[in-house]
Amino acid sequence: MLRYLQKYLLQDLKTKMVFVGGPRQVGKTTLTRSLFSYYKTACQYFNWDNDEERGAILKKQWRKDSPLIIFDELHKYPRWKQWIKGVYDVKPEEQEYLVTGSARLDIYKKGGDSLLGRYHYWRLHPLTLDELPEGISPEEGFERLLTLGGFPEPFLQADEREARRWRRERFDRVLHEDIRDLEDIRNIQLLQLFVDALRERAGSLITLSNLATDLQISPKTAKTWLSLLERMYLGFAIYPYKTASARSIIKPPKFYFYDNADTVNEPGVRLENLVATTLLKRLQFIEDYYGYRCNLHYIRDKEGREVDFATVIDNKLDQLIEVKYSDAGISKSLQYYTDKLQPKQAVQIVATLKHAYDKNGIRVTNPIEFFKNPPWEIE
């Protein structure tokens, strides 16, 4: 299965190193190794988690005539940044390097000089409605995304029991191996309870002080753990869009999971999480490819008027998006902020809607229709 980033990685490798970050088991290794077929001579792959290959990395034992070398999970090496800089600065002219990691490589850069100017950074996301494998209809894909999530293995296997086993095993590996390798967390069991609490609150405002009180941890610890889960690609927080209105107020973040099936098994919650992950995937592609600054927010004011998502590109409000599972009537809050903020596009996504319609500057449509044209297919 070809992934949406493949041709862009090949383009960027011609000029710089390429870093690919993303959640564990999202398909980074499969994607990057698929690039080997585009080279005439043998490429090489090294995984830091493999004892033998780790030794080869540290001893710099690879063929000088290999056109492409992949270093997987290299960020687990404490001095990885300084190491790869040294390797890159003396590399053979035609040799290309690709580094992957299941933690944010833009965060875990420790020691040595900056790598700025030596690499392009890409983020790989799970499957979404705008990136479905050949042979799977949008309708079938939508159902699988809501029940199985978008990670390739459970999505393609299409077995809910196996998907639950896969999800538990993946979560345990991230918590007990990946986080252990990079962070000093003394109470992993308490961190697991923290994640469980976030699952129950996916898409809702997260008041960290209340969550800290429930778990008997400090608010500072709760804030640190939330940031940690983002760095490890388990989930992401979005924050309020700041308007010029005096009535707009600072609110707590909302939290969503990269694995849509990590949320509670409630259709409305999973639909909102699916929209959040798809919007983030699109925005990060625009950021990684086009170079614009992109952000995903929500809106809420003192009167309780709330819009689920606001996308911002190059410091300009691009979209306001409200998500409903079955209510096709236009949200009063969406109408209010559409009139007030004048975004480029205002949309209400309704899962069960059969026929789209436009009214008062707002498009009401279903998720399949809205996400059918991904930015990576626009030339």
Q: Check if the beta carbon of residue 86 is closer than 8 Å to that of residue 118.
A: no
pLDDT in the model for residue 249? 55
The reply to whether 248 and 350 lie within a common domain is: yes
pLDDT(110) > 70: no
Who contacts 341 (Cβ-Cβ below 8 Å, separation ≥6)?
243, 317, 320
pLDDT(8) > 50: yes
Q: Flag whether 132 is in a domain.
A: no
Q: Flag whether 329 is in a domain.
A: yes
Q: Flag whether 250 is in a domain.
A: yes
The reply to whether 187 and 89 lie within a common domain is: no
The reply to whether 209 and 97 lie within a common domain is: no
The reply to whether 100 and 147 lie within a common domain is: no
Q: Flag whether 1 is in a domain.
A: no
The reply to whether 271 and 186 lie within a common domain is: yes
pLDDT(299) > 80: yes
Give backbone dihedrals phi and psi of 238, rounded to 5 degrees, phi first.
Answer: -120, 150
Q: Which of 123, 156, 185 is the last residue of a domain?
A: 123
Q: Flag whether 133 is in a domain.
A: no
pLDDT in the model for residue 246? 39
Q: Flag whether 129 is in a domain.
A: no
pLDDT(115) > 80: yes
3-state secondary structure of 96: strand
pLDDT(46) > 90: yes
User: ∠121-55-103 over CA atoms, to 5°?
Assistant: 30
Per DSSP (E only), the strands in the chain are: 17-21, 44-47, 68-72, 96-101, 119-123, 235-240, 254-257, 294-300, 306-313, 316-324, 345-350, 357-359, 362-365
The reply to whether 233 and 109 lie within a common domain is: no
The reply to whether 158 and 203 lie within a common domain is: yes
pLDDT tens digits along 308-359 = 999 999 999 999 999 999 988 999 999 999 999 999 999 999 999 999 999 9
Range of the domain at 145: 138-377
How many folded domains does the chain comprise? 2
pLDDT(288) > 90: yes
CA 290 to CA 137: how far, in whole Å?
29
The identity of residue 74, as a single letter, is L
Q: How many residues does the chain have?
A: 379
pLDDT in the model for residue 242? 86
The reply to whether 186 and 111 lie within a common domain is: no
Q: Check if the beta carbon of residue 103 is closer than 8 Å to that of residue 174.
A: no
Q: Flag whether 11 is in a domain.
A: yes
Give the strands of the sheet with 119-123, arranged side by side: 44-47, 68-72, 96-101, 17-21, 119-123
The reply to whether 194 and 220 lie within a common domain is: yes
CA 107 to CA 124: how far, in whole Å?
16
The reply to whether 54 and 163 lie within a common domain is: no
Q: Flag whether 128 is in a domain.
A: no
Rg (C-alpha) for the chain, rounded Å, is 22
The reply to whether 171 and 260 lie within a common domain is: yes
pLDDT in the model for residue 244? 58
The reply to whether 90 and 172 lie within a common domain is: no
Average pLDDT over residues 101-115: 65
pLDDT tens digits along 221-261 = 999 999 999 999 999 999 999 875 535 455 799 999 999 99
pLDDT tens digits along 49-97 = 999 999 999 999 999 999 999 999 998 998 999 999 999 999 999 999 9
CATH number, residue 10: 3.40.50.300
User: What Å distances lie between residue 307 and 104, 245, 346, CA to CA?
Assistant: 29, 15, 10
Confidence of residue 111 (pLDDT cuts 50, 70, 90): very low
Confidence of residue 109 (pLDDT cuts 50, 70, 90): very low
